[in-house]
Chain A
Amino acid sequence: MGYKSIEEINEKIKKGKAVVVTAEEIIDLVAEKGVSQAAREVDVITTATFGPMCSSGAFLNFGHSDPPIRMSKVWLNDVPAYAGIAAVDAYIGATELSATRGMEYGGAHVIEDLIAGRDVKLHAESYGTDCYPLREITTYINKDNINQAFMFNPRNVYQNYNAATNASDRTMYTYMGTLLPHCGNVTYTTSGQLSPLMNDPYYRTIGIGTRVFLGGAEGYVAWEGTQHNPDQKRGENGVPLAAAGTLALIGNLKEMSTEFVRAAVFEKYGVTLFIGVGIPIPALDEDVVEKASVSDSELFTDIVDKSGQMGVVGSASYQQLRSGYVELMGKKIPTAPLSSLRKAREIAQLLKKKISRGEFLLTAPVAPLPMHNKVNKLEVRRPRNED
């Protein structure tokens, strides 16, 4: 049964009268008052995550020099950016490594430097054309002297993610952190009961066009994320039991803050970007509220052996993972998080405050995220169109 529409909720937000709680606070509220009462009382539930998201980057437009150059190769602080688009457009990917410093500095650091307002060295080369005669340029840019800088992340906000361990006899250095031999530890990386898509498992309120908090600025869901996998196995509560849906996000980098966007280096793996994302869920009806009141004890994920020897070695609830230990093959194994729950909570509270003050309005999806999608494997084969 529907209680309120997004328009009605936005009217309350504008009047400063909306009741906003976080996806953790709703758990206690539902336990205390029941789903029906909670759904009547609450208008918005805020979710958040702050974790390493490799599939991130930013589009930049540098403006034209005089004489102009059709930048075909671009480096920012010696980190290559993709320039195979229009003359002075480029895309700086988070995981790209510095051509001179290797793994200690990469695209993520360039992004953090830009957000911090620091000058970044731009070097570009070209083959020279009649309309763009200049062949080389070196200068300094920052977020205020370039035209556009918008983050576009092809895959963020994973709906659940597999926890990792290592059954081999040597230490592994991975994007899931340092994994000790003989299943010496387990790492996990979601904010569980606070995580956006865990609280809206069937993408009822989160879809294309949804306004979100992205790295300190307002952003939007642009599309389904790459490797979006809504067909993943699900529990009785509808929440996927392993890595599933994803979101492609877009937002104005110039308005972001280094409080919520931080460059990172995983030892012997490479560079990545920690990003803070917050997504509000409109408490439309009992179904939405019930799904958003899910707690860590009801959320499970697979534990995968990253050495590839054993595949999925077990499953654990986020309550177990958060306890500090999980039982795996008869052994008690210490667990460690990789995404910051403290920062995620900070974002959920900040978004709650913004909505309560009338500074952040909700949106209905312009189009829904796909509910079915085949995730293909890459096969090594001959072309089919070759006879």
Chain B
Amino acid sequence: MKIKVYMSFPADKVTKPVTYHLIKDFDLRINILNADVSLNKEGRLVADFEGDEANIREGLGFLEREGIRYKLFNKSIIWQEDKCVHCGACTAVCPSGALQMDKHDWSLTFDKEKCYVCELCVKACPLKVMSV
């Protein structure tokens, strides 16, 4: 089973090796998609959790006990490719690198795995072909 999780750390928890515990104690495969963590500031981490359902549940329980807020991604970005003109305006705001221009034929490419559904592209797309 694989889920995508958005975590936000209070400033005092930033120094805690959370991913280490998730991997070591709950046997989860963690793939960090995006991180914005610095000392004495609230941190933000987006990651895929892969493992047994029970382990994932326990891992999320661990986050709760540690006072780390999280939310699961149950939405995804829908790209109406046939209506897209491949202008690239969405790539100006995409923080995950999920939306990129192919440097060879200058088509827009969308890597769903990298996307953490921040929805910035939905507003930035001039043709309104991005939705959730």
Contacts and interface: CB of A to CB of B under 8 A. Distances in A.
B124 A178 contact: yes
Contact of B127 (A185, A187, A262, A334): A262
Interface in A264-290: 264-267, 272, 274
A342 B81 CA distance: 14
B126 A337 contact: no
A155 interface: no
Interface of B: 85-89, 91-93, 101, 103, 105-107, 120, 123-124, 126-128
Contact of B89 (A180, A187, A324): A187
Contacts of B105: 342, 345
22 contacts: A50-B87, A177-B92, A177-B126, A178-B123, A187-B92, A264-B126, A266-B89, A267-B123, A267-B124, A272-B126, A274-B85, A274-B87, A274-B126, A324-B103, A334-B92, A336-B101, A337-B91, A338-B92, A338-B126, A340-B106, A342-B86, A342-B107
A178 B93 contact: yes
A22 to B, nearest CB: 14
Interface size classification for chain A: 20 to 34
Contacts of A51: 87
Interface of A: 50-52, 177-180, 185, 187, 262, 264-267, 272, 274, 322, 324, 334, 336-343, 345
Nearest to B108: A342
Nearest to A272: B126
- Which A-B residue pairs are the 4 nearest by beta carbons? A336-B92, A264-B126, A337-B88, A341-B106
B3 to A, nearest CB: 29
Given A336-B88, A339-B87, A178 B127 contact: no
